[in-house]
Amino acid sequence: MQIRTVLAGVGVIAATLGCGVLVAPAASAATSDDTPTATLSASAKGFSPNGDGKQDTITFSYEIPQSGVVALEFLNSKGAVIGQKTISDEATPLLGLPVGSQPAGEGTYTWRGDLDQGLPLGGHQDIKARLVSLGTTSLTDCLGSNLGDLLGGGGSGLNLGGLDLSNPDLQCADKAESGEVPIEVVAKAPVLNLSTSLGTVYPVRDGFRDSVKLSAKATKAADTSFTLTSPKGDVVRKWAGTADGFKVSWNGTDSSGDTLKPGFYKLTGTALGEYGNKATVKSVTVRVSAKEFEMRDGEWKLKG
């Protein structure tokens, strides 16, 4: 079931419902005082429809002036419609016209980022949402009020015994449209890249590689944190990162300032981006060595 505004030709609005077609002259909410308007708002500025269970949905609140077929249209940054999501209850088609649908008044709809077209919204993009409602009258009212326009037709839609319901002169529905609501879609988690300037640090204070630079870079702004674990898996040091990562000169000591025992230590970083998007845990290994060096003949050499 879909609502579509046709901008070319006679400009008719078509709502496809089962086997029938409902049509009406296209009207602009911006130019006609008689055109009913709808309202739309969102529960948040954005969401993350990636199925991780954190801020995967966004709830829209809306109000329509009359019962009808209702859908959300989504536009890209250039204003082009990239998809829609029908939020009406299924309506029963009767000779091409829906009997029942979304009731007039206020309502809410929780959206998971899926579209009628079957294409999910992913990545990181800024879109706009607007609500389109196609209100309906009864078949009797429609045919009775348009009796003079039913013969001849000339449209290309469903024809019932010579009565062409695609005739652009027919008044079988009223379109209501809301303003546009900006929505940020962030379905991709930040990536956190860790690195060390050296593979081994020699914390004996002799001037030879007494410290190593540990650094991390996040591809997107995120809350970052870092832990250093011993060969046995015990946490020996923690660092709080910045929005884009961290950089520290580490001298082989634990959080108390004591020199660590020789072995391989693992630096692990985590990053939590917008709307609960958590980066895949990354880690890098650095070795702590107890070897001592001294300067001899202008070169660093093992002591002894």
Q: What is the pTM of this model?
A: 0.61
Tens digits of residue pLDDT in 20-78: 333 333 333 333 445 568 999 999 999 999 888 889 999 999 999 888 778 899 999 89
**Tens of pLDDT, residues 75-95:** 998 989 888 888 865 444 544
Residue 131 sits in the same domain as residue 26: yes
Residues 171 and 215 in one domain: no
Among 140, 159, 186, the domain-final residue is: 186
Q: What is the pLDDT of residue 97?
A: 44
Do 222 and 108 belong together in one domain?
no
Q: What is the CATH number of the domain that holds 44?
A: 2.60.40.4070
Is the domain of 99 the same as that of 61?
Answer: yes
pLDDT of residue 35: 53
Parent domain of 250: 192-302
Q: Could you tell me if 101 and 234 lie in one domain?
A: no
User: What does the pLDDT read at residue 189?
Assistant: 85
Q: Please give the average per-residue pLDDT across 151-158, as a whole number.
A: 44
Residues 156 and 251 in one domain: no
Q: Which residues pair with 250 in a beta bridge?
A: 212
Domains in the chain: how many in total? 2
Same domain membership, residue 152 and residue 6: yes
pLDDT class of 144 with cuts at 50, 70, 90: low
pLDDT > 70 in the chain, percent: 69
pLDDT tier at 119, thresholds 50, 70, 90: low
Contacts for 30-33: CB closer than 8 Å, 24+ residues apart? none
Residue type, 29: A
Confidence of residue 11 (pLDDT cuts 50, 70, 90): very low
pLDDT at 114 over 70: yes
CB-based contacts of 21, cutoff 8 Å, min separation 6: 14, 15, 96, 157, 158, 165, 166
Q: What is the pLDDT of residue 264?
A: 97
Among the ranges given (48-52, 60-64, 115-119, 287-291), the one the predictor scored with the smallest mean pLDDT? 115-119
Dist CA 40 CA 181 (whole Å):
7
The domain that contains 221 carries what CATH number?
Answer: 2.60.40.2550
Residues 267 and 195: beta-carbon distance below 8 Å: no
The pLDDT score that the predictor gives to residue 100 is: 44
Return the top range by mean pLDDT from 150-154, 203-207, 233-237, 269-273: 233-237
Q: Are residues 165 and 199 in the same domain?
A: no
- Provide the pLDDT for residue 282: 80
Cα separation, 2 vs 184, in Å, equals 24
What mean pLDDT, rounded, does the chain reach?
Answer: 75
Q: Is the pLDDT of residue 2 over 50?
A: no
Terminal Cα distance for the chain, rounded: 83
**DSSP per-residue codes, the chain:** -EEEE--STT-EEEEEETTEEEEEE---TTT-TTS-B-EEEESSSEE--SSSSSS--EEEEEEESS-EEEEEEEE-TTS-EEEEEE-SPPPEEETTEEES-BPSEEEEEEE-S--TTS----SEEEEEEEEEEEEE--HHHHHHHTGGGSSS---SS-EETTEETT-TT---EEEEE---EEEEEE-S---EEEEES-SEE--SSSSSS--EEEEEEESS--EEEEEEE-TTS-EEEEEE-BTTEEEEEE-SB-TTSPBPPSEEEEEEEEEE-GGG-BPPPEEEEEEE----EEEETTEEEE--
Q: Are residues 146 and 236 in the same domain?
A: no
> CB of 128 within 8 A of CB of 182?
yes
Counting beta carbons within 10 angstroms of the beta carbon of residue 174, is it exposed (0 to 12), middle (13 to 18) or buried (19 or more)? buried
Q: Which residue has the higher pLDDT, 275 or 265?
A: 265
Same domain, 95 and 21: yes
Mean pLDDT of 159-178: 55
Judgement on whether residues 206 and 282 belong to the same structural domain of the protein: yes
- pLDDT value at position 297? 77
Domain boundary among 126, 160, 186: 186
pLDDT reported for residue 175:
77
Same domain, 131 and 233: no
Among 186, 201, 226, the domain boundary falls at 186
Confidence band for 281, pLDDT divided at 50, 70 and 90: confident
Q: Between residues 154 and 218, which one has the greater pLDDT? A: 218
